[in-house]
Amino acid sequence: MSNGFKVTIGNLAITDPDFEEIVEDQDFDGTYAGNGSTSIPLYISHNSTSSITGCGLFMQAYTGADYSGVNGPTEDYNDILAWGDAYNAGGEEGGFQIDQDNDEVFESTIYTGNGTLAVPISLTAGANPGIIAADEEVHIDVRIFVPASETSARNLYIDFGLKYTYTS
């Protein structure tokens, strides 16, 4: 696969469109430099009686035991983060991207200081930004965009998650 990429997301603590908890890794279809992957729709809900607040989305190095990439989980994470850093600085498009309002426009890109576990991207989807009510389901889409200048085909692995606060 010339300039081809496959990205695997592990440890998703959210549900797929069939409302089944995702317990296995999710793969973006292979994509090529200068292109975005097929987006993966994610639906976030919970079964508590109170709202969860302070909801934020983040990416981190892959923690699964079945890594089969080339450079290691930390390097994969750093590569995708660097793609987002370059795009955020006005460079070519690239990185882990999030569409929070289901309009096929990926308005959030993860980069250093934005979308990490320490500094998650605030969840704006839903009726009240940053909050998921007890009876609410929030829909977001995620994808990987590989910069056109990327020349090294490989499989990349990352974890993606939701950080939140819950008070019973």
The one-letter amino acid code at 153 reads A
**More reliable by pLDDT, 112 or 66:** 112
All domains in the chain, ordered by first residue: 4-166 (2.60.370)
Encoding tokens for residue 156? 């990349």
The pLDDT, as a whole number, for residue 25 is 59
Output the pTM of the full model.
Answer: 0.80
CA distances from 48 to 10, 14, 133 (A): 24, 14, 9
pLDDT at 23 over 60: no
pLDDT at 26 over 90: no
CA 1 and chain centroid, separation? 24
CA 81 and chain centroid, separation? 11
Encoding tokens for residue 7? 């990205």
